[in-house]
């Protein structure tokens, strides 16, 4: 489905949107719920990734011999399920995924689990899915791995740690990235009564075989909120949107949006009903020609920020993006290709993005994005590419190719845009 987006006629002043639970928190808690069945969850994510995770975890109840489990594009599910099935004694599964998933490395996690006593092997290419897992009782408790890898490898180990006989002592070698996601995992473990510590480069998790009945209401997804921050930033002064349900002391690294988007004239108010109101209070600082952000702790919002800056005509220097190379697509190269097509001057490295200021959207310019209406924005089977570029419709009509990819994390996205006057129609 290719979707033509444009700003609807009529004055836009405010909107109200309900966003389902964080995919990051949901997938962690779904795994913990499978380990501790008396854990109950509310406001779970309705994303494809969480649906895949839930189905796979439920399937383990009926596995007798060997079973093939396809996680499609769900990277978090691939990493978390690798650890989960490694400790399901007597059960055997093969985890596979899309063609892109078979290109995403998993060797670091597999090596760590095998060091702990797991039995995991590769079905096709060494270091990549599909993988065969024979569930065993893991008796070792100490392991180390590089600290600058995706935090999902680290969280995958931490989530099963309470069910290991001797717990887990994990040493991270080098500079640690994505610390908020590691802290999120540890905080969720703490909330169900598991004892953990994180000192320097060492993390320990004590064994915990039972928990008291516990109920979680999952916070809404800050990554999904990022597109609304972009919409507000690209709107006229006075526009606002209210989103539910968010916490001022969030565990999610992408809550950095609150501070980052102040550069673009966007203010955030935390309301008493756990909603937030984000509003365009002023034009971005006229002295600001280039926005700078270090995104080690929140790389998933890099695409959103880059497109926001492009739409505002300002430049940006974004760093700490090395994990974007192994996502649903190489997100840095994808951003470079699509923004260049739209007239941007942009360069990328292995861990950074540099966008030059532009005057494409100055008053009087007509249809500055000639490449977009003709060919559309390619999304590379990446949900975040589709949603990051959508707010540009406030500046000029755009076409988003393969728009259905948003179901991976935010299935209601296109319907929600209509609530604030961004109109979508299918095109051939």
pLDDT in tens, 367-422: 555 545 457 899 999 999 999 999 999 988 899 999 999 998 999 999 999 988 89
**Is residue 190 predicted with pLDDT exceeding 80?**
yes
Q: Name the 3-class secondary structure at 122.
A: strand
Q: Among residues 261, 205, 254, which one has the least CA distance to residue 231? A: 261
Q: Please spell the DSSP secondary structure of 85-120, one letter per residue.
A: HHTSTT-EEEEE--TTGGGS--HHHHHHHHHTT-EE
First to last CA, the chain: 8
Q: pLDDT at residue 337 above 90?
A: yes
pLDDT > 70 in the chain, percent: 95
Which residues are known to be catalytic?
Answer: 300
Same domain as 124, residue 41: yes
Mean pLDDT for the stretch of residues 198-206: 96
- Does 70 have pLDDT greater than 90? yes
Same structural domain, 145 and 166: yes
Domain end call among 217, 240, 269: 217
Q: How confident is the model at residue 10 (pLDDT cuts 50, 70, 90)?
A: low
pLDDT at 177 over 80: no
Alpha helices of 313-365 — where are they, by DSSP H? Answer: 331-341
pLDDT of residue 222: 96
Lowest mean pLDDT among 85-89, 143-147, 208-212, 316-320: 208-212
Question: Do 303 and 191 share a structural domain?
Answer: no
Report if residue 398 sits inside a domain: yes
Q: Which two tokens stand for residue 366?
A: 């007509």
Is residue 152 annotated as involved in ligand binding? yes
Count of domains for the chain: 2
Q: Which two tokens stand for residue 28?
A: 């962690």
CATH of the domain at 57: 3.65.10.10
Mean pLDDT over 53-65 rounds to 83
Q: In the predicted model, is pLDDT for residue 284 greater than 90?
A: no
User: Do 291 and 412 have their domain in common?
Assistant: yes
**Cα distances (Å, whole numbers) of residue 260 to 233, 249, 254, 294, 300:** 11, 16, 10, 10, 14
Q: Mutual orientation of helices 151-160 and 179-191 as an angle, nearest 10°?
A: 20
Contact 253, 178 (CB under 8 A): yes
For residue 52, what are the CA distances in angstroms to 66, 159, 414?
18, 18, 21
Tell which residue, 42, 92, 43, has the closest CA to residue 67. 92
pLDDT of 51: 93
140 is an annotated ligand-binding site residue? no
- Is the pLDDT at 11 greater than 70, yes or no? no
300 appears as a binding residue in the annotation: yes
DSSP 8-state code for residue 185: H
Annotated binding residue 144: no
Token pair 């060091």 in the structure block, residue? 115
Per the prediction, the chain carries an average pLDDT of 91
- Which strand ranges, in their side-by-side order, compose the sheet holding 352-355? 290-294, 315-319, 352-355, 346-348
Instruction: Measure Cα distances from 163 to 115, 200, 207, 321 in Å.
Output: 16, 24, 6, 33
310 and 212 belong to one structural domain: no
CA–CA distance, 23 with 29 (Å, rounded to integer)? 10
Residues 6 or more apart whose CB falls under 8 angstroms from that of 356 comprise 315, 344, 345, 346
- Tell whether 309 and 416 lie within a shared domain: yes
Answer yes or no: are the C-beta atoms of 31 and 54 closer than 8 Å: no
Over residues 20-45, the mean pLDDT reads: 94
Are both 88 and 152 inside the same structural domain?
yes
Q: Which residue has the higher pLDDT, 26 or 323?
A: 26
Q: Which of 305, 321, 417, 351 is nearest to 19 (CA)?
A: 417
Q: How far apart are the C-alpha atoms of 322 and 338, rounded to whole Å?
A: 19
Q: Which of 240, 364, 365, 379 is nearest to 307 (CA)?
A: 379
282 is in an annotated binding site: no
Tell me the residue range of the domain where 324 lies.
2-12+249-254+287-427
Q: For position 8, what pLDDT does the model report?
A: 85
Q: 55 labelled as ligand-binding?
A: no
Burial 308-344 (b: 16+ CB within 10 A, else e): bbbbbbbbbebbbbbbbebbbbbbbebbbbbbebbeb
Whole-number Å distance between alpha carbons of 262 and 151: 27
The predicted structure's pLDDT at residue 363: 63
The CA distance from 333 to 338, in Å, is: 9
Give yes or no: residues 124 and 177 share one domain: yes
Rounded Cα distance between 251 and 188, Å, is 9
Question: Is 384 marked within a binding site?
Answer: yes
Residue 79 known to bind ligand: no
**Is 407 part of any known ligand binding site?**
no
Q: Is residue 281 part of a domain?
A: no
Alpha-helical regions (H) of 280-342: 302-312, 331-341
Mean pLDDT to the nearest integer, 273-282:
93
Q: What is the pLDDT of residue 371?
A: 43
pLDDT of residue 364: 54
82 shares its domain with 208: yes
Which domain-ending residue is among 170, 195, 217? 217
Average pLDDT over residues 202-226: 92
C-alpha radius of gyration, the chain, whole number = 22
CA 159, 140, 323, 195 dihedral sign is positive
Q: Which residue has the tokens 């399937």?
A: 59
- For residue 173, the surrounding DSSP H or E stretch is strand 168-173
186 with 316, same domain?
A: no
- For residue 225, being part of any structural domain is answered with no
Q: Would residue 148 count as lying in a domain?
A: yes
Quickly state the pLDDT bin for 328 (edges 50, 70, 90): confident
Provide the pLDDT for residue 374: 59
Is 75 a known ligand-binding residue?
yes
What pLDDT, on a 0 to 100 scale, did the predictor assign at position 176? Answer: 85
Same domain, 70 and 93: yes
Confidence of residue 167 (pLDDT cuts 50, 70, 90): very high
- Report the distance separating Cα 334 and Cα 145, nearest Å: 29
């Amino acid at each position: 489905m290719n979707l033509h987006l444009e700003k609807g006629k009529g004055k836009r002043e405010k909107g109200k949107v309900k966003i389902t639970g964080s995919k990051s928190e949901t997938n962690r808690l779904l795994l913990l719920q499978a380990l501790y069945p008396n854990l109950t969850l509310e406001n779970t994510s309705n994303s494809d990734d969480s649906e895949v995770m839930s189905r796979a975890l439920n399937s383990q109840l009926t596995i007798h011999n060997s079973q093939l489990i396809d996680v499609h594009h769900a990277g978090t599910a691939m990493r978390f399920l690798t650890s989960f099935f490694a400790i399901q004694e007597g059960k055997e599964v093969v985890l596979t995924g899309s063609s892109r998933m078979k290109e995403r490395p998993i060797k670091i996690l597999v090596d760590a689990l095998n060091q702990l006593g797991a039995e995991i092997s590769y079905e096709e290419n060494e270091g990549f899915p599909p993988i065969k897992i024979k569930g065993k009782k893991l008796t070792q408790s100490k392991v180390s791995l590089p600290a600058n890898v995706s935090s999902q490898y680290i969280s995958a180990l931490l989530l099963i740690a309470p069910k290991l006989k001797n717990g887990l002592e994990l040493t991270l070698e080098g500079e640690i990235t994505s610390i908020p996601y590691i802290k999120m995992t540890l905080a969720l473990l703490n909330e169900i009564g598991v004892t953990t510590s994180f000192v320097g480069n060492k993390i320990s998790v004590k064994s915990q075989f039972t928990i008291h009945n516990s109920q979680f209401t999952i916070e809404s997804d800050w990554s999904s909120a990022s597109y609304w921050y972009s919409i507000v930033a690209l709107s006229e002064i006075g526009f606002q949107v209210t989103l539910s349900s968010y916490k001022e002391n969030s565990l999610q690294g992408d809550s950095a949006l609150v501070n980052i988007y102040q550069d673009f004239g966007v203010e955030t108010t935390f309301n008493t009903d756990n909603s937030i109101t984000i509003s365009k209070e002023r034009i971005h600082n006229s002295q600001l020609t280039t926005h700078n952000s270090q995104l080690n702790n929140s790389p998933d919002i890099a695409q959103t920020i880059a497109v926001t800056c492009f739409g505002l005509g300002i430049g940006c220097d974004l760093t700490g993006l090395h994990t974007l190379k192994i996502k649903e697509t190489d997100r840095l190269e994808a951003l470079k290709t699509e923004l260049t097509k739209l007239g941007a001057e942009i360069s990328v490295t292995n861990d950074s993005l540099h966008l030059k200021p532009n005057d494409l959207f100055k008053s009087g310019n007509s249809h500055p994005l000639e490449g977009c209406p003709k060919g559309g924005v390619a999304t590379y089977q990446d949900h975040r590419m589709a949603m990051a570029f959508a707010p540009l419709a406030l500046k000029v009509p755009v076409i988003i190719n393969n728009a259905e990819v948003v179901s991976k994390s935010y299935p209601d996205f296109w319907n929600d845009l209509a609530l604030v006057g961004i109109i979508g129609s299918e095109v051939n």
